[in-house]
Chain A
Amino acid sequence: MPLVNYATREITCKIVYYGPGRSGKTTNLHYIFEQVPNDRKGKMVSLATQTDRTLFFDFLPLDLGSISGFSTRFQLYTVPGQVYYQATRKLVLQGADGVVFVADSQARQLEENIESMQDLHANLADHGMDVRTTPLVIQYNKQDLPKGLILGVDELEDALNFRDVPSFPADALHGLGVFETLRGISELVLRRLSAGSTAGAR
């Protein structure tokens, strides 16, 4: 699906929140959901298990209304973080215009973050998407935890942000950094409006 359809005057932006299990992807979406006025959001679809872990994916459609004459919609997805939902992750990633990698700042989760990041790269490559050009931002979530438990932003940058993409410290539970992250990825994605990555056909 193209990012922009000039003929029907639509911008449709699919953003996928990716990251290891329990890093706070769904929490991000929940916070956004809470902040969005009712007439702007669709129903948040969350397929969660009884233990509140995302089983399939979360989906939050946002209607941003008419922007520069284009009817603009954002679709926010999360992937299940658990390693064994590999197929679902790959499926959700399909056609993504941008990816938010939600990293868990806890020191003991570093390995999971790295694995998940590698998994993201592999899946993007499988979809034929160029990792270097796909819009990506990183969120270092749970920065509110006691300093002893978490890694600082600098350490996380060293470990995860080897492409030097925009990154945001966050406390998704309380909403800190959530919209900054969304804004960051939106800007990267929307910049592509002026590139040739558009289509009018369908």
Chain B
Amino acid sequence: MVDLDPRYRFESYVVGSANRLAVSAARAVAQAPGSAYNPLFIYSSSGLGKTHLMLAIGHLARQLQPELDVEYSTVDEFVDELTNAVSSGTIDRFKHRLQGVGLLLLDDVQFLAGRQETQSEMLRLFNALQRSGKQVVLTSDRPPAEIADLDERLITRFSGGLVVDVGVPDYETRVAILRKKCEERGVQFEAGVLDEVARIKSGNVRELEGALNRLVACQALGGTAVTARNVRELLGDRIETPVRATPVGGARGEEFASFLADVREVVAQHIETWRVRVGEAMARWRELGYKTGPLERALQASEAPDVDALLSEQESVVARLQSLAQEAAKYDAALAASELFFDPDRLSEAEMAVVRLVGGAEPPPGPSLAYSRAEFEVGPSNQLAVHAADTVIEEPGKKYNPLFVYGSAGVGKTHLLNALGNELLAMSGEAMLVACTDGQRFVDELIAALQEGTIERWRARYRVVDVLIIDDVHLCAGKERSQEELFHLFNSLYSAGRQIVLSADRAPKAIEGLEERLRSRFEGGLVVEMQPPDHVLREKLFARHLATARERPDRALVDYLASRSVGSVAEIAATVERLVKAAEVVGVPLTASFARKELEGSISAPAAARVIDGRAVDELFLDEEKVIWDWPDVAGRAIEEFR
């Protein structure tokens, strides 16, 4: 066993940025041999402290575990020993001894280069040590892979633990090393001397020590004090400050190499990593054929953006473009392949293109212009429905969604629904897409679409609307596929906050064959009934129809007509038409008595029905004052309660 040079300890090793990693690895190994980094491979050019570090490991390990067997050897000594053992026939003893070693420090392993025999012996030994968990520390002047003619298996074993390098110390470390050396020797120099020496850009610590030795000698012998000024003089030619790295007319290529090194440094200094990242992403997307407008603009900026957000934004936009292209491909492969779907800047355009493509050029049917809200007469029988419709017009999709209006035929549901549609169109300046259809048409269109195989296009037509109005929705009842489609359409519109207005001849729960899932959805908004026209409404309607027929609105006539109960608005129109025609044929003006005669014929006038103040009175309630003729604002109250 070789004694370890006591000078080389961690305490005397100056740590700088160039060797920090190597030192911490070395300490870790010394504190727990065989468990941290095994093997630890330290390399550096000559004179930078490999051997010092290695011996420091040995000292510390011994200090911590006195019983640990630490073996230090240079490869040259090792080879000599091996050869001797072979020649004296004691190879087994040699091997046995080595296998008992707890920490093997092997210096200058680069000298294994080209020694095939030693290398194979080394390999066997190495395997044995590793198997038994013994720590090996190796040093070399170059990394394992660069040692000439080194067995591939040894390279992998040497590199299998941790490979660290020790760099050239920087100026500050050099000053620290010099101070430490002076301390060790107990010499002192004037301020500034050591700093001056450290300015020598010497490539290794040994040279530095040499310079120091020279100064120590000068100080001891010459009598002249060493000052910062005369350091250069005293060290003679050695101190030539490294003027420029490239002497003029230097060997061909040297100046260029130095220039290149400078450029590298400047580029490394100024190239910004976020730009590199963005650039990489751009290259990637471009390879896939995508444009990278947003990234390009980010690169133009002088400030770093949130790169992660930027890149994930691009990713999600491209994903959206891809799904749009896929959808477009179902209808038009040429369009799907167009640039539009490869440009994140044109996402909204691409979205529109798909909507147009899928929805077809044909918009869904709109409300009929024949019906307007202004012409819709309100009375107690329908005021709840009208109030709800007005609310929807004001705030589509917000309050009553869906609005479900029911009532028997002819009470004005169709008028109300179309009027609502027209009003929404007018309010939004035609910007809203209002689909107004009826149950039968919905079913027919679906059948036609199934037949032509354009179901997707048909669906898309409705899915893009802002308002969906379906009159006589009960006609879909009992039709499975129609209800299925309606269900999905309903959900997609409802979840997007679009207004849905429906009408039927009866309340949802009374519609036979209506699927439960639809019924519950229909009832989820506001279900409101429209009743046959009441007296007030009848009056208004008769007056309107008579006016339309250019008849003089005769109070008595209107009173009489309004007193007759009718089932629907349509009936009122028909009655007026009939009377006008009859009066024309006979050539008399249309009066109350003519109307009565015409409508009641020979049947005696409703003598029983007394008329008080133009109103028909039930005989049971002869006392007029006890009859409530008008219910004040029923509709408003009902809606309040419904909420």
- A-side residues, CB < 8 A to B, are 4-9, 11, 32, 34-37, 40, 64-65, 67-70, 72, 174-176, 179-180, 182-183, 186-187, 190-196, 198-201
Contact = CB atoms under 8 A, between A and B. Distances in A.
Nearest to A62: B256
Nearest to B298: A200
Given A6-B279, A37-B253, A200 B267 contact: no
A201 B296 contact: yes
A198 B300 contact: yes
B104 interface: no
18 contacts: A5-B279, A6-B276, A11-B267, A35-B252, A35-B256, A36-B253, A37-B252, A72-B267, A174-B248, A175-B255, A183-B262, A183-B263, A193-B267, A193-B271, A198-B300, A200-B278, A200-B295, A201-B296
Contacts of A191: 266, 270
A200 B279 contact: yes
Q: What are the 9 tightest A-B residue pairs by CB atom distance, in nearest-first order?
A: A6-B279, A196-B302, A7-B282, A193-B270, A194-B270, A190-B266, A7-B283, A179-B255, A35-B256
A198 B256 contact: no
Contacts of A179: 246, 255-256, 258-259
Interface string B248-275: 1100111110111011101110111001
Contact of B252 (A5, A34, A70): A34
B292 interface: yes
A60 B295 CA distance: 33
A6 B275 contact: yes
B272 A193 contact: yes
A65 B283 CA distance: 20
Contacts of A32: 256
A196 B266 CA distance: 17
Contacts of A11: 267
B302 A187 contact: no
What is the size category of the interface that chain B forms with chain A?
35 or more
Contacts of A192: 270
Given A67-B263, A186-B266, A194-B270, A6 B299 contact: yes
Contacts, number: 102
A36 B267 CA distance: 20
Interface string B220-249: 000000000000000000000000101011
Given A35-B253, A176-B248, A200-B292, A64 B263 contact: yes
B267 A68 contact: yes
Contact of A67 (B252, B267, B301): B267
B270 A199 contact: no
A182 B263 CA distance: 10
Given A35-B254, A70-B271, A200-B278, 5 more contacts: A6-B280, A190-B267, A199-B300, A200-B295, A200-B296
A72 B272 contact: no
A198 B270 CA distance: 12
A196 B267 contact: no
B263 A35 contact: no
Given A35-B255, A191-B270, A198-B300, A175 B276 contact: no
B124 interface: no
A40 B282 CA distance: 29
Residue from the set B258, B259, B283, B296 with the largest chain A CB neighbour count within 10 Å: B259
Contacts of A199: 296, 299-300
Contact of A72 (B258, B259, B263, B276): B263
B270 to A, nearest CB: 4
A143 B268 CA distance: 34
A58 B302 CA distance: 34
A179 B257 CA distance: 11
B479 interface: no
Identify whether the interface residues of B are mostly helix, strand, loop, or mixed. helix
Contact of B276 (A69, A180, A190): A69
Residue from the set B260, B264, B279 with the largest chain A CB neighbour count within 10 Å: B279
B110 to A, nearest CB: 29
B250 to A, nearest CB: 9
Contacts of A187: 262, 266
Contacts of A7: 279, 282-283, 286, 292
Contact of B259 (A182, A196, A200, A201): A182
Residue from the set A179, A192, A199, A200 with the largest chain B CB neighbour count within 10 Å: A200
Nearest to A187: B266
Contacts of A65: 260
A8 B276 CA distance: 10
B267 A6 contact: no
Residue from the set B255, B286, B300 with the largest chain A CB neighbour count within 10 Å: B255
Contacts of B267: 11, 67-68, 70, 72, 190, 193
A40 B259 CA distance: 13
A75 B248 CA distance: 23
Contacts of A175: 248-249, 255
A40 B244 CA distance: 23
A199 B256 CA distance: 28
Contacts of B248: 174-176
Contacts of B249: 174-175
A68 B263 contact: no
Interface string B147-173: 000000000000000000000000000
A201 B264 CA distance: 24
A193 B302 CA distance: 10
Contacts of B283: 7-9
Contacts of B266: 186-187, 190-191
Contacts of B264: 67-68
Contacts of A6: 275-276, 278-280, 282, 299
B579 to A, nearest CB: 80
A200 B282 contact: yes
Contacts of B275: 4, 6, 198
Contacts of B302: 195-196
A127 to B, nearest CB: 20
B260 to A, nearest CB: 6
Nearest to B278: A6
Interface in B15-69: none
Interface in B601-615: none
B256 A37 contact: yes
B268 to A, nearest CB: 5
Contact of A196 (B253, B286, B301): B301
Contacts of A64: 260, 263
Contacts of B272: 193-194
A200 B293 CA distance: 10
Contacts of B295: 200
Interface in B576-628: none
A190 B263 contact: yes
A69 B296 CA distance: 19
A8 B270 CA distance: 18
Given A182-B259, A187-B266, A190-B263, A68 B271 contact: yes
A35 B299 CA distance: 36
A187 B266 CA distance: 6
B256 A36 contact: yes
A125 B103 CA distance: 72
Contacts of A180: 244
A99 B260 CA distance: 19
